[in-house]
Chain A
Amino acid sequence: MNEITPPLKRRVLPGFWKRILIFLTIFGPATITAMADNDAGGVATYSLAGAKLGYPILFPLVIITILLGVTQEMGMRLTVITRKGLADLIREKFGVKVAIFMFGALLIANIGTLITEIAAIKTTSTMLHIPPIPFVMVIVLVSLFFVTKGNYKLTQGIMLVASLFYIVYIISAVKAHPDWGLAVTNLLYPHGVDMTSAYMRDFLLIGMGVLGTTITPWGQFFISSFAFDKKIEKGKINYSQMETYWGAFLTDFFSFFMIVATAATLYIHAIPLVSGEQAALAIQPFAGQLAGVLFAIGILNAGFMGLVIVSLSTAYAFAEFFGISGSLNDSYQKSKTFYILFVIQLIVAMAIALFIPLSLFKVAVFTQTINAVALPPVFYYLIKLTSDRQLMGEFANNKFQKIFSIACTVIIIVTSLFTVATIFIKT
């Protein structure tokens, strides 16, 4: 037992503390999934958004939090109640062809995501004067080691520690001396800038991009698989639901500071930014060297988290879709294919990102396109499965949940399709 699941045995606990302890036993999957949604690509997008649009781009965060919370909760509930992963259920209910299509889309999109993570790590490590290629290799090797050699608890522990590192963005934001009042009020309604039509167009586009990096197909599969691997008891479903909302809040809580850090410096001084990773360097003259270095460390940490979680999500989904053993608690011998798939993706992505001159922008667009194609079916199956009374019993979506989740899904899908469409029109 480690600090995450304290022993509940043979102890009499008062109600409140008991509930806290139960919460800690289920704590992990939702928080980690949500935090990994702010991967290196996410941080870059948020930084870019803050630099280009200032405080008003904080406004969409509230909506994103709600959308993320609602969609993640469905995945969590589905798994805790049925004791099967999302991919398991898609295969059983909708057959092998759907399974192959979904897995194909997930695999390609995830490799694209991994490439952008590695590219971000590369750019950032160069800024910190760390040799990029050895550094990326070390990160990949370290994650290989603890994922294959360790168990669920170790991986969860490491990922939770990585989640803590997002605190660096709070420090960076404070160092940037932002106008806190303006920042917070912008959460309620966008204001304080000159809303020209050009600004509005960028606002819409970047706002949608922000949504696209946060709500992803792999996030939906991962929360389900990770909760499955944790074997959360049905009786603790309330606590797990709470965790999904908490995770969604926490993610956007940190996103808030990422945006504030660049809005208070780069936007105010009208410094243009080509890519989000450069924010770490660009904010230094205004917020000081410490803020810049912390910002860069934050990106490295986010990239590391993204590499492990995204790669795991493919391996888990493969195991579920095609019925092989796949658990972090299994030995390498038992879940060979699962671990090999985890490794291969990282190696392929690393090879592409480090040695093939690719336009990062194109990779990002490509990835986002695949994600946009895969998201509608993912949500279609997710809502259909969570509304299935035979499967979910009393925990099936009620009318309100169903309508609300469909509405959220429609927003997400329209947004992601629209983003892709505009990129194609522009290029």
Chain B
Amino acid sequence: MAYLSEILGRPVIDLEGKPVGKLRDVIVRPWAEFPHPLIEAIAVERKNGVEYIPFAAVAALLSPVIPLKYRADEIPVCKLEEGDVLLSRDVLDKQIIDTDGARVVRVNDVEFVWVNGTIYVSNVDVSWLGIIRRMGLTSLANSIGGHLKQKGISWEDVELMHRDQSMQLRVPATRLHELHPADLADIVSDLNRLESGQLLDSLDVKHLADTLEEVEPEFQAELVEHMSDEKVADVLEEMEPDEAADLLGDLPKERKEDLLALMEKEDADDVRKLLAYPEESAGGIMTTEYASIPPDLTAGEAIQVLRGMADEVETMFYVYVVDKEEHLIGTFSLNNLIFAAPGQMVSDFMTEHLITVNLTDDQDTVAQTVSKYDLLAIPVVDDQNHLHGIVTADDALDKIIPTAWKKRLPRFYR
């Protein structure tokens, strides 16, 4: 086991022992087959500037003096390739994403491991020991180190971030896709603008939409500021209509219109409808994605119909029964449906005792009603009892519980 901080600055000598220069950086190249990259080259500071020497020309890297296999005038040099990572420039002291712990951390050191004559990057060190070692107190760090649990992050779980504008995230950030959108949102808010832009760019539309839904509304608008209209329109189609409306509401008017025009008509119409209502009213916080069926079906038929809706309606707590003019006439839960005999008519087992809110009701009223009757979602109707949408319990509470307090609530209640 060896550390990057220990070997940086060490003298590099040639075959005959003459000084060549000082070690400035270690270049690794990530490859697809194995999560731990191999050392590709070293950067040596010589009199006439920094040169990159292929690792094959290095006799021993992890020694007090680094000998090369060539004489000073025969040393081969190489060029950097796209995708190369310079451990000191890109990793040491920089922030990385720990995809295992879903957090942003600062790298104190990089750890190498020597296996059968090959040197790999094994871990990044984010612990206090790393800092003590960097202070030049290696022996102190080692003596404490024996008693403490090492807090290294395996390179496998490291997602790099680059400040250089011309560089994109080089490895497709596959590991990020495994994170929960809420974790991703947390990470995004920890990053600087450029990095968060890159991170979001690397996500597919579905994941991007989920992540944006988790980010604070004021921050959403900023994040999509530099994305192309086409991409944002795709994302908006993917988002729940109420979240999409919130996001659009934060954007400048012209951009909002452009985006709505780019969206598929059906989705755009849903969102437009929501934008028409005041932000703090039931109409403003409702979603138009709900399941509704006519009353003259049997339970068996209803299950078939609902299965067909699965793609459009993400969460289905209750099913709403509407007549031909979209009047809300009843509701039942999925429980009711499953326990009903397949031949039973919907109108027989649905509840006709309805708890609804009006489009223009204040969001506080919505939240109070939801919590009073312990509902998971509440239908929103107009004065003629036409069903327009539903407000889910989490959205209703979202508006009255400040985010900071909400974060303390157990996951279940969010």
* A residues neighboring B (CB under 8 Å): 5, 7-10, 12, 82-84, 88, 91-92, 95-97, 100, 150-151, 231, 233-235, 322-325, 329-331, 390-391
Interface residue? B69 (CB, 8 A): no
Identify which of B103, B164, B193 contacts A83 (C-beta below 8 A).
B193
Identify which of A7, A88, A96 contacts B279 (C-beta below 8 A).
A7
> If the complex has contacts A92-B94, A100-B135, are A151 and B404 also in contact, measured as CB distance less than 8 A?
yes
Contact B106 A322 (CB under 8 A): yes
Measured CA separation A234–B219 after assembly (Å): 12
> If the complex has contacts A9-B250, A329-B404, are A233 and B105 also in contact, measured as CB distance less than 8 A?
no
A270 nearest CB across to chain B (Å): 54
Sorted nearest first, the 10 A-B pairs with minimum C-beta distance are A323-B106, A83-B192, A151-B404, A96-B134, A83-B193, A9-B249, A331-B407, A233-B222, A10-B249, A84-B192
Contact B93 A95 (CB under 8 A): yes
Measured CA separation A150–B407 after assembly (Å): 12
B182 nearest CB across to chain A (Å): 13
CB contacts (< 8 Å) of A10 on chain B: these are 249, 275, 279
B184-200 contacts to A, CB under 8 A, are 189-194
Measured CA separation A231–B217 after assembly (Å): 13
Measured CA separation A231–B196 after assembly (Å): 13
> If the complex has contacts A10-B275, A91-B93, A96-B131, are A323 and B126 also in contact, measured as CB distance less than 8 A?
yes
4 more CB-based (< 8 A) A-B contacts, given A96-B131, A234-B193, A323-B108: A9-B250, A151-B403, A151-B404, A331-B407
Measured CA separation A378–B249 after assembly (Å): 41
- How many residue pairs link A and B with beta carbons under 8 A? The number is 68
CB 8 Å contact bits of B118-152 with A (1 = contact, 0 = none)? 00000000100001001100000000000000000
Closest to A2 in B: B402
12 examples of A-B residue contacts, CB within 8 angstroms: A12-B253, A83-B192, A83-B193, A92-B94, A150-B404, A151-B403, A151-B404, A233-B225, A323-B95, A323-B105, A324-B106, A331-B407
Measured CA separation A91–B106 after assembly (Å): 10
Interface residue? B408 (CB, 8 A): yes
CB contacts (< 8 Å) of A322 on chain B: these are 106, 131
Judged by DSSP, the binding face of B is mixed
Contact B279 A9 (CB under 8 A): yes
CB contacts (< 8 Å) of A325 on chain B: these are 103-104, 190
CB contacts (< 8 Å) of A390 on chain B: these are 164
CB contacts (< 8 Å) of B253 on chain A: these are 12
Measured CA separation A234–B253 after assembly (Å): 19
Measured CA separation A95–B93 after assembly (Å): 7
A155 nearest CB across to chain B (Å): 11
Contact A96 B190 (CB under 8 A): no
B interface, size bucket: 35 or more
CB contacts (< 8 Å) of B105 on chain A: these are 323-324
> If the complex has contacts A83-B194, A91-B93, are A231 and B219 also in contact, measured as CB distance less than 8 A?
yes
CB contacts (< 8 Å) of A329 on chain B: these are 403-404
A40 nearest CB across to chain B (Å): 29
Measured CA separation A322–B105 after assembly (Å): 9
Closest to B126 in A: A323
Measured CA separation A318–B105 after assembly (Å): 13
CB contacts (< 8 Å) of A9 on chain B: these are 249-250, 279
A166 nearest CB across to chain B (Å): 28
Measured CA separation A329–B131 after assembly (Å): 27
CB contacts (< 8 Å) of A231 on chain B: these are 189, 218-219, 222
CB contacts (< 8 Å) of A391 on chain B: these are 163
Highest count of chain A CB atoms <10 Å: which of B105, B225, B250, B404: B404
Measured CA separation A235–B189 after assembly (Å): 17
Contact B249 A151 (CB under 8 A): no
CB 8 Å contact bits of B78-119 with A (1 = contact, 0 = none)? 000000000000000111000000011111100000000000
Contact B191 A83 (CB under 8 A): yes
A113 nearest CB across to chain B (Å): 25
Contact B279 A97 (CB under 8 A): no
Closest to A154 in B: B404
> If the complex has contacts A10-B249, A10-B275, A331-B408, are A100 and B93 also in contact, measured as CB distance less than 8 A?
no
Measured CA separation A12–B93 after assembly (Å): 46
Measured CA separation A334–B339 after assembly (Å): 44
CB 8 Å contact bits of B242-282 with A (1 = contact, 0 = none)? 00000001100100000000000000000000010001000
Measured CA separation A95–B88 after assembly (Å): 10
Measured CA separation A233–B224 after assembly (Å): 12
> If the complex has contacts A9-B250, A92-B93, are A82 and B192 also in contact, measured as CB distance less than 8 A?
yes
B179 nearest CB across to chain A (Å): 16
Closest to B278 in A: A10
Measured CA separation A91–B130 after assembly (Å): 14
CB contacts (< 8 Å) of B163 on chain A: these are 391
CB 8 Å contact bits of B173-213 with A (1 = contact, 0 = none)? 00000000000000001111110000000000000000000
Closest to A332 in B: B408
CB 8 Å contact bits of B155-178 with A (1 = contact, 0 = none)? 000000001100000000000000
Closest to A95 in B: B93
> If the complex has contacts A7-B279, A10-B279, A97-B135, are A151 and B402 also in contact, measured as CB distance less than 8 A?
yes
B307 nearest CB across to chain A (Å): 37
Measured CA separation A76–B93 after assembly (Å): 23
B329 nearest CB across to chain A (Å): 33
Measured CA separation A96–B132 after assembly (Å): 10
Measured CA separation A323–B191 after assembly (Å): 12
A31 nearest CB across to chain B (Å): 20
Closest to B222 in A: A233
Highest count of chain A CB atoms <10 Å: which of B95, B218, B250: B218
A336 nearest CB across to chain B (Å): 13
Contact B135 A96 (CB under 8 A): yes
Measured CA separation A233–B106 after assembly (Å): 24
Contact A100 B222 (CB under 8 A): no
CB contacts (< 8 Å) of B126 on chain A: these are 323
Closest to A150 in B: B404
Measured CA separation A416–B192 after assembly (Å): 34
B402 nearest CB across to chain A (Å): 7
B98 nearest CB across to chain A (Å): 11
> If the complex has contacts A10-B249, A92-B94, A331-B407, are A100 and B190 also in contact, measured as CB distance less than 8 A?
no
Measured CA separation A92–B219 after assembly (Å): 25
Identify which of B131, B249, B404 contacts A100 (C-beta below 8 A).
B131
CB contacts (< 8 Å) of A331 on chain B: these are 404, 407-408
Closest to B107 in A: A323
Measured CA separation A83–B226 after assembly (Å): 15
Closest to B250 in A: A9
Measured CA separation A391–B106 after assembly (Å): 19
CB contacts (< 8 Å) of B189 on chain A: these are 231
B371-412 contacts to A, CB under 8 A, are 402-404, 407-408
Highest count of chain B CB atoms <10 Å: which of A10, A83, A95, A391: A10
Closest to B404 in A: A151
B189 nearest CB across to chain A (Å): 8
Measured CA separation A65–B227 after assembly (Å): 40
Closest to A92 in B: B93
